[in-house]
Structure 1
Amino acid sequence: MVSDVIDRNSRFQEIMNRLTDKSIDDYYNPYRLFEWPDHLPENTWWMSPELTTTHGTDIAEHLTPEQLHTLSKHESINFYSLNVHGIRELLTEVVNRIHTAGFETPSEFFHHFIGEENEHMWFFAEFCLRYGKKIYRQPPTTTETPTHGPKTESLLVFTRILIFEELVDHYNSTMAADERLHDTIRAINRIHHQDESRHIAFGRELVDLLYQDLRQTATDQELTDISTYLRRYLTHSFESLYHPQVYRDAGLDHPHDIRRRLLQSPARAEAERRTFRKTLKYLEKTGLIR
């Protein structure tokens, strides 16, 4: 059973109350908020070029502007597809914990979190199906999760959720401010960034509490296993942006070879460091990553 450390922390309770009030004040109806044009212009950027997987590589140097625009369209669809799949997973995990022992205090915020994430999943799926005619499938993770009991399980669940949210928020905040992108693309990234700011603030507080509680009884080996797992999960999460079907749909030959070359590129390593700069700083400060 998860410890009641969450419910005994007055600071956490105050933060939950503030975030819950903010969710209520910022509430919007996504089904009426967005304008969905019949088509988005093809020969333009659908994702900030600096965020595309070929940026800064020799592969990009050999592509025409039209090919780069087409690739950005499919990378955009893949990014929103990742959101759909990631949100589905996190909703399942949060629903499994709402109003259960040890999670009484955050359960009020969980209700708003679940509602907001469900709406996020809807508008990301709507974008994918309207403008890409598909939601890209994702291969299952091959990163083995440490099994050290329910405390470790809950800690890793909420740490994975936090990593996922910080990854997508880096992209959201960049594209929301990018005037090269269509207004519809900027709008869904802007509104998601608005909500994710609250979710990330919540996630950091909760993960820190769960980890500090676990440390009281965990062995050094268990903590090392958690650190190793999270480092692998960070890389796995980022590499999910590199999808061979995206390169195939963009009309590029040898898509699996392209993915392999991109994953081995120094530009990929630098992009991962840039994307997770704040995340890694937090995880190292907390002690989750050694």
Structure 2
Amino acid sequence: MTPPERTARLRDAIASMAETTERLSRLSQRSYQNPYTAVEWPSSVDPERQWFSSPEYLSLYGTPLWERLDEPARRRLAFHEAVNFYSLNIHGEKGLMEGLAARLYRRDLLEVADYLHHFLDEENKHSIYFGGFCTRYARVYRSRQLPFEESRARDVEDLLFFVKTMIFEEIVDVYNRVQARDDRLEPIARFINRNHHLEESRHLVFGRRLVAALWEACAPDWDGTVRADIRAYLAQFLVATWREYYNPDVYADAGLADPWEVAEQAWSAPAQREHRRRVSAKVLGYLTGIGLLDKEPVDAF
């Protein structure tokens, strides 16, 4: 397949998404909100008396470490894990916004440019909510995820960018859906999770369609080495993404001794391995179903 033929095939694949992107754009317009007036921030929070994360989704849940914590300590951990979760989203959305802006109005992606504007706008608003919580009540945790710096062909880079976005957001959305409905959580935590889920649900529809379109249009031209590189890279990314849910800075702020050792114990705990497998099942099932992945990235579990 020659480059012009590949470009034409990709353009046709993107054009086939027109009905989907038009519908998603209408939904975004209908639910447009002002992030500076949509929420009323509490004047203060009490991490040892209030819940900010669902206990069953905490990184120590189901481990011997969890059993040794009293109730105030569990709530304190839940607060700092909420801050970490919001911080992960801030860092993830910074990279996402950069990548979306770089692809805006590119000729081969022109058919989806209108929705990319909504995508960018909504990700910026999400960062305002996440950052608003972190800077009011705690801090923004640093990201320890190092960029994978390799030069690849543009079509491969595009696929990797949107698949990474999809993996990150699908995992986050599982947490959002659970925590948006959890009546134990403080209203501000439920609001942030619910709002993020409602808008991300559109992004996930777009992401699934676009990833499938890019894979179907480009993969036939890639040899086994390129496909293997893509799969290995995504397996590394999945591990790196999950690793950040086990943050030593969180454990230190929660008052736990030996935070790095806590992180390793939690990561290796059978209950947590099963938790990661369960939360990742939907996105990995989708990627395997379209042939992009050929097996479960076992190192993450």
Which interval holds the TM-score relative to the shorter structure?
A: over 0.9
Alignment of 1:108-119 (within 5 A): 108-119=114-125
**Residue deviations 1:224-260 (CA, integer Å, cap 9, x gap):** 1111221221121111111101000000000001001
One-letter amino acid of the structure 2 residue matched with residue 163 of structure 1: I
TM-score computed with the length of structure 1 as normaliser: 0.95
Deviates more, 1:247-256 or 1:262-271: 262-271
Structure 1 residue 138 corresponds to structure 2 residue 176: no
**Residue deviations 1:90-124 (CA, integer Å, cap 9, x gap):** 00001000001211011100011111100111110
Structure 2 counterpart of 1:92, from 94, 98, 120: 98
**Aligned length, in residue pairs:** 288
Q: Is the 8 A contact 1:162 1:204 kept in 2?
A: yes
Q: Is the 8 A contact 2:248 2:263 kept in 1?
A: yes
Alignment of 1:1-290 (within 5 A): 3-9=7-13, 10-42=15-47, 43-132=49-138, 134-141=139-146, 144=148, 147-290=151-294
Displacement over 2 Å in runs of 4+: 1-7, 144-148
CA distance in 1 between counterparts of 2:8 and 2:185 reads 46
**Structure 1, unaligned stretches of length 5 or more?**
none
Change over 3 Å in CA distance of 1:6–1:214 after alignment to 2: closer
**Structure 2, unaligned stretches of length 5 or more?**
295-301
RMSD (Å) for aligned C-alpha atoms: 1.5
Following superposition, the deviation at residue 145 of structure 1 comes to: 6.1
Structure 1 counterpart SS, 2:40: coil
CA distance in 1 between counterparts of 2:273 and 2:188 reads 30
Change over 3 Å in CA distance of 1:125–1:119 after alignment to 2: same
One-letter amino acid of the structure 1 residue matched with residue 104 of structure 2: I
Following superposition, the deviation at residue 4 of structure 1 comes to: 4.5
One-letter amino acid of the structure 2 residue matched with residue 48 of structure 1: S
Q: Is the 8 A contact 1:176 1:186 kept in 2?
A: yes
Following superposition, the deviation at residue 146 of structure 1 comes to: 6.0
**Once the two structures are aligned, what percentage of the paired residues are identical?**
36
Following superposition, the deviation at residue 3 of structure 1 comes to: 2.8
Change over 3 Å in CA distance of 1:170–1:145 after alignment to 2: farther
CA distance in 2 between counterparts of 1:280 and 1:57 reads 25
TM-score computed with the length of structure 2 as normaliser: 0.92
**Residue deviations 1:43-80 (CA, integer Å, cap 9, x gap):** 13210001100000011011111111101110000000
One-letter amino acid of the structure 1 residue matched with residue 237 of structure 2: Y
Structure 2 counterpart SS, 1:45: coil
CA distance in 2 between counterparts of 1:45 and 1:235 reads 28
Q: Is the 8 A contact 1:231 1:289 kept in 2?
A: no
Following superposition, the deviation at residue 6 of structure 1 comes to: 4.7
Q: Is the 8 A contact 1:46 1:185 kept in 2?
A: yes
Following superposition, the deviation at residue 140 of structure 1 comes to: 3.1
CA distance in 1 between counterparts of 2:77 and 2:257 reads 12
